[in-house]
Structure 1
Amino acid sequence: MRLSRLAGGAVVVVLVGALSAAPAQAATVEQVCVGTEVTTFDPPLTFTPRETTIAVSGVFPSCANAGAVTGTYAETFSLTASCLTLFDSGAAQRTFTWGGTLAPSEFQYNAVSNAAGAAVVTTNTGVVTSGGFAPAGAVQVVSLVTPNALQCLTAGVASMAGPTTLTIQRS
């Protein structure tokens, strides 16, 4: 009985404290871009895992910020990949180059890839550390179609393409 009263009292103190705390600042969206990413694999992906050089390039033909109305990026890295294990999670960095008046943005992020139906969805969450929009948080989501099994069994999958979105915001 005593324990339940203490627990109930703690809940009331926490709720009163939360209600009296200063309101959180709303995030200000600085940039939203919609585009396409192309990913190439050398050697092409098969069902056998092997060291693969992955080249990523993206274009944002439509961005909301007047100082950066378009954008591009490119990145190359190596990892062990196959048609069954396309991407790995981990830290990386890429540069967004803007069409407009803003300087390029250095984006340091953590990538997490997951299978979602017939797609591999990669979410890059991180921070713009320098250049245009710095400092600000950013999230980029890329969706690539799952490789065709017949291609994986024969010549392999040399490239994939899909939609990408980027949101940059300050808190």
Structure 2
Amino acid sequence: MSRSGAVLSVVLVASGVVAGGAPARAGGLVQTCVGTEVTSFDPPLTLVSRPTEITVSGLFPTCTHATARTASYAETFTINASCLVLGDSGTATRSFVWGDPAVAPSTFVYNVTSSAVGGQIVVTSSGLITDGTFAPAGAVQTVTLLTPNTLQCATTGIASVTGPTTVNIHQ
């Protein structure tokens, strides 16, 4: 995985600049997947910023496309992180691996925005499928996670967070 800067999906955000701006939506929706994302922190996030290995993994057990019915993704990177940092910058790339080995993985290059809404952090990754199945296409992935517990950040730290995720691919 290539990363010139990084972030995560809850407290930090994988972020970047995609040439050409927002995803194209000239065609229609060709794939929607619904699942769960888990983000783990080693060492656990606290109120003090320190080098942290972040592992993001997602599983989509339900997708709408006839040949790409399930998917998964995973990435690991190290950045300075804490419960207090809500974002960073850099280029992010993720590969959606489809459940059928005959279907080529899709490379997703994306920008990230996050916002705190009602005790949750909503992370939106918008970008392009640049290679593999569905390329070229626009894609948007959304993950919803609980805001980190301040007391836990001040004591034992946050070792992982989990939340629902959805990806939509448009051609």
State the TM-score, normalized to the length of structure 1.
Answer: 0.80
After superposition, the CA RMSD in angstroms is 1.5
Q: Secondary structure at the match of 1:150?
A: helix
Unaligned 5+ segments in structure 1 are 1-24
Q: Which has the larger radius of gyration?
A: 1
1:94 aligns with 2:94: yes
For 1:34, the aligned partner's letter is: V
- Structure with the bigger RCO (C-alpha within 8 Å, sep 6+) is 2
Q: Secondary structure at the match of 2:99?
A: strand
Q: Secondary structure at the match of 2:153?
A: helix
Task: Give the Cα separation in 1 of the matches to 2:97 and 2:144.
Answer: 21
For 1:117, the aligned partner's letter is: G
Higher strand share: 1
Higher helix share: 1
For 2:81, the aligned partner's letter is: A
Task: Give the Cα separation in 2 of the matches to 1:138 and 1:38.
Answer: 20
Give matches, 1:1-171, under 5 Å: 26-100=26-100, 101-170=102-171
State the TM-score, normalized to the length of structure 2.
Answer: 0.80
**Identical-pair percentage:** 58
Q: Secondary structure at the match of 1:69?
A: coil
Q: Which moved more, 1:75-84 or 1:126-135?
A: 75-84
Contact 1:88 1:113 survives alignment (8 Å) = no
Contact 1:54 1:77 survives alignment (8 Å) = yes
Task: Give the Cα separation in 2 of the matches to 1:35 and 1:73.
Answer: 11
